[in-house]
């Protein structure tokens, strides 16, 4: 598969979305919590509590929607500032109860709307980056589809970041990159190669710790069971660390990326 094939796979409308993952891994134990308690409830972000075997966790996910009606309601998975603020509120709640946080990321990017700008989209993302870096409970982020720039990173400052094999993670969309570089957005396939945005590229660059095999269909029970077990094992390991060590490791994880001497 070429890099651009991966881009298309990551965006495929038949691809499983965050609510599918939540349903498959946590079933009826998932209890959704709404709103940022400041402005409103952003439907692009689904968040709540769930049981990971016998451990309660906080789940925060960006949801694109599975059909046209849902996609409209979810704003195609592009969050507004209140979505990121809902995420932060629930991360702080998780910290209070020392619950691990699982983030599922799937977005083409934070919403570039007039209202979003007026309500401080940049600040909302910046605050998440800062607060997640020192959140005193384990965080794990899994990119399940598109990882679009700052809007994805706002849920991906974590102890470990994993990617589904056909997901992508990029600083800019290949179309955006192509139109800046070559004034021609149809050159997105070439830009996709240049940007090094596939799971294997990112693994090689040290940006992700693990690549997860794709489920072959929605009933791929073995895959979801395997993923759930890996998540549980990772949380177990990180819950056992003392907080100072956990945060030191998280800081060091990002500190070494693009370091120079």
Partner 1 sequence: MDLFTFLKPKNELEGSQSSAESMPFIPDSLWVKCPACNNMLLASDLQENHRVCTKCNHHFRMSARERIELLSDENSFTEFDSEMISDDILNFPNYKEKLEAAREKSGEKESVVTGKCTIGNMDVVLCVMSPDFMMGSMGTVTGEKITRAFEYATENRLPVIVCTVSGGARMQEGILSLMQMAKTSGAVKRHSDEGLLYITVITDPTTGGVTASFAMEGDIILSEPNALVGFAGPRVVEQTTHTKLPKGFQKAEFVQDKGFIDAVVQRKDLRKTLSTLLIMHNVKENS
Q: Which residues are at the interface with partner 1 (CB under 8 A)?
A: 110-114, 116-123, 125-127, 129-131, 133-134, 149-150, 153-154, 156-157, 169-172, 177, 180-181, 194-197, 202, 205, 207, 251, 254-255, 257-260
Residue 252's contacts (CB-CB under 8 Å, 6 or more residues apart) are none
Q: Which is nearer to partner 1, 14 or 260 (CB)?
A: 260
State the nearest-atom distance from the C-beta of 59 to partner 1, in Å.
21
State the nearest-atom distance from the C-beta of 25 to partner 1, in Å.
26
Q: Which is nearer to partner 1, 176 or 226 (CB)?
A: 176
Structure tokens at 181: 């570089």
Structure tokens at 106: 């799937």
Structure tokens at 147: 């990882």
User: How many contiguous H segments (helices) and E segments (strands) does the chain have?
Assistant: 12, 8
State the nearest-atom distance from the C-beta of 27 to partner 1, in Å.
32
HEC profile for 22-77? HHHHHHHHCEECCCCCCCCCCCCEEEEEEEECCEEEEEEEECCCCCHHHHHHCHHH
Q: Which is nearer to partner 1, 20 or 165 (CB)?
A: 165
State the nearest-atom distance from the C-beta of 91 to partner 1, in Å.
14
Q: Which is nearer to partner 1, 49 or 143 (CB)?
A: 143
Residue 96 and residue 101: Cα distance in Å, rounded?
A: 12
State the nearest-atom distance from the C-beta of 255 to partner 1, in Å.
6
Closest to 139 measured CA to CA, from 153, 164, 157? 157
State the nearest-atom distance from the C-beta of 185 to partner 1, in Å.
12
Strands, E assignment, the chain:
31-32, 45-52, 55-62, 101-107, 139-148, 160-164, 168-170, 210-212
Place of tokens 């990119």: 143
Residue 5 and residue 143: Cα distance in Å, rounded?
A: 17
State the nearest-atom distance from the C-beta of 192 to partner 1, in Å.
11
Q: Which is nearer to partner 1, 117 or 225 (CB)?
A: 117
């Amino acid at each position: 598969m070429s890099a651009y094939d991966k881009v298309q796979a990551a965006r495929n409308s038949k691809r499983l979305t965050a609510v599918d993952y939540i349903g498959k891994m946590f079933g009826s134990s998932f209890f959704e919590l709404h709103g940022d308690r400041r402005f409103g409830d952003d439907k692009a972000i689904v968040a709540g509590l769930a049981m990971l075997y016998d451990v309660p966790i906080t789940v925060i996910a960006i949801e694109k929607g599975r059909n046209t009606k849902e996609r409209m309601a979810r704003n195609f998975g592009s969050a507004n500032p209140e979505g990121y603020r809902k995420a932060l509120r629930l991360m702080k709640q998780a910290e209070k109860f020392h619950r691990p946080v699982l983030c599922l990321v799937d977005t083409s990017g934070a919403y570039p709307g007039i209202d979003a700008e007026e309500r401080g989209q940049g600040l909302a993302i910046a605050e998440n980056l800062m607060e997640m870096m020192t959140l005193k409970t384990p965080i794990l982020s899994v990119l399940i589809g598109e990882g679009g720039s700052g809007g994805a990173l706002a849920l991906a400052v974590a102890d470990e970041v994993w990617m589904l094999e056909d997901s992508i993670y990029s600083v800019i969309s290949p179309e955006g990159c192509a139109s800046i570089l070559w004034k021609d957005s149809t050159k997105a396939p070439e830009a996709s190669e240049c940007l090094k945005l596939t799971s294997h590229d990112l693994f090689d660059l040290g940006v992700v710790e693990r690549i997860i095999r794709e489920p072959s269909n929605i009933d791929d029970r073995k895959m979801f069971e395997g993923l759930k077990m890996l998540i549980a094992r990772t949380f177990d390991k990180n819950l056992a660390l003392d907080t100072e060590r956990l945060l030191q490791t998280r800081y060091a994880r990002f500190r070494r990326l693009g370091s120079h001497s």
